[in-house]
Chains A and B, each alone.
Chain A
Amino acid sequence: DIQMTQSPSALSASVGDRVTITCRASQNINSWLAWYQQKPGERPKLLMYDASRLSNGVPSRFSGSESGTEFTLTISSLQPDDFATYYCQQYNSYLWTFGQGTKVEIK
C-alpha cells in the first residue's frame, strides 16, 4: 500500500497567519491527491483534488502544490472558519490511503 505521511500532526496559529501542511507519499502518485477538511461531528469536506484544483465553493485562500512525492496545502490567511482537521488522501492506486491528519488550532 502507498503510505501517506502528513505533518505536522497539529499546529496552533492565529487568524491571518499563513499555514502550510505537508503530505509525503511513499511512492509516485501522479498528482492523484486530495485534501479534505473535517470539523468535529461533521463529515469530511473536499477542499482540493488532483493536488492543486480547488473544489467548488472553496475560498481562494486555499491552495495546493506538489514537488515530486511531496504535496502541500497552504492557507494564505487563516480565517476563524478554517480551524479544523485536514487530511490528504491518495487515489493513485485502488487501495486508497489517507494521511494521519493535521489539527489546526487557535493560538
Chain B
Amino acid sequence: QVQLVQSGPEVKKPGESVKVSCQASGGTFKTFSFSWVRQVPGQGLEWLGGMIPLFGTPNVAQSFQGRLTITADQSTSTFYMELTSLRSDDSAIYFCARASVPTTVNTFLRFWGQGTQVTVSS
C-alpha cells in the first residue's frame, strides 16, 4: 500500500523560504511522477510542479518558475519542494501526490499525502 507522509506545519515571515518534504513508502519510488499541489483556504487545487525521480528533471508551473525548487532523494524515497520569497498569498495547504502509472507524465494522481499547512505572516 502506497503511503505519502508529509512534514509538519510551517510558519514563515514574508520573504523567507519554506521546504516541505514527502516521504513515500510502498511501491517503487524512482519510476513514478510525484507532484506538489496547493490549496489556498476556500479555493481550488493548483498544480505547482512535479518530477519523475528516475529522470531527475522537474517541471514547474509558469507561475512558480524562479521561486519553486523540486527535488527528490532516492536513497530515502523523499520528495521535496522549496518555495522562496514567500508572500502572504502563499499561505495554503501543500499536498504531495504520486501518479498511478510509472515512467510517464500522462498519468493521474492516485495517492495523496495528508497535506502541510504553510502560513506566511509577519
Which chain A residues have a beta carbon within 8 Å of chain B's beta carbons? Answer: 1, 30, 32, 34, 36, 38, 43-46, 49-50, 55, 85, 87, 89, 91-101
A46 touches B105 (CB 8 A): no
Nearest Cβ on chain A to B90's Cβ, whole angstroms: 18
A43 touches B47 (CB 8 A): no
Selected contact of B109 from candidates A1, A34, A92, CB within 8 Å: A34
Interface residues of A, dominant DSSP = loop
Given A43-B95, A49-B100, answer yes or no on A98-B105 (Cβ-Cβ < 8 Å).
no
Q: List 18 A-B contacts (CB under 8 A).
A: A1-B62, A34-B108, A36-B109, A43-B115, A44-B37, A44-B45, A44-B97, A44-B109, A44-B112, A46-B100, A87-B44, A91-B106, A94-B50, A94-B59, A95-B61, A95-B62, A98-B44, A101-B45
Say whether B107 faces chain A, with CB atoms less than 8 Å apart. yes
Say whether B114 faces chain A, with CB atoms less than 8 Å apart. yes
Interfacial chain B residues near A101, Cβ < 8 Å: 44-45
Q: Which residue of A lies closest to B44 (CB)?
A: A101
Nearest Cβ on chain A to B32's Cβ, whole angstroms: 13
Interfacial chain B residues near A91, Cβ < 8 Å: 105-108
Selected contact of A98 from candidates B47, B50, B62, B113, CB within 8 Å: B47
